[in-house]
Structure 1
Amino acid sequence: MENITIWFTSNEQEEDQRQDVCLDMSRLEEITEAWVPVISPYGKAILIWKNCD
């Protein structure tokens, strides 16, 4: 699986950091055509993109 990188900002760090999101294997039943559950440095999230249909 390819990595998807986001910029992560925290109150404890002075500089933003590049962090990867990963597929949330515990929420696979939620996957749809343009909606994928992921875990980010911020917590549970969804990865969405415009559907071409």
Structure 2
Amino acid sequence: MPLNTSSGRSNKIDVTFGRQEIKIPKQAYTAEFKELAVKQLKDGQSVGTVGKELGL
């Protein structure tokens, strides 16, 4: 199933699945959240593990 996204500057992402287009709100993350994710990666955790732990 192809996934197409637009690169516009809105707070929603246009996603097309087949012939159906839906709008998904963009997620905003705080600086602290991003710092925590980077720290966990630098401490040796895998991307998948960090993503699961942070609910991504």
* TM-score of the aligned structures, taking structure 1 as reference length: 0.30
Bigger CA radius of gyration? 2
* TM-score of the aligned structures, taking structure 2 as reference length: 0.29
Greater percentage in helix: 2
Greater percentage in strand: 1
Higher RCO by CA contacts (8 Å cutoff, separation 6 or greater) = 1
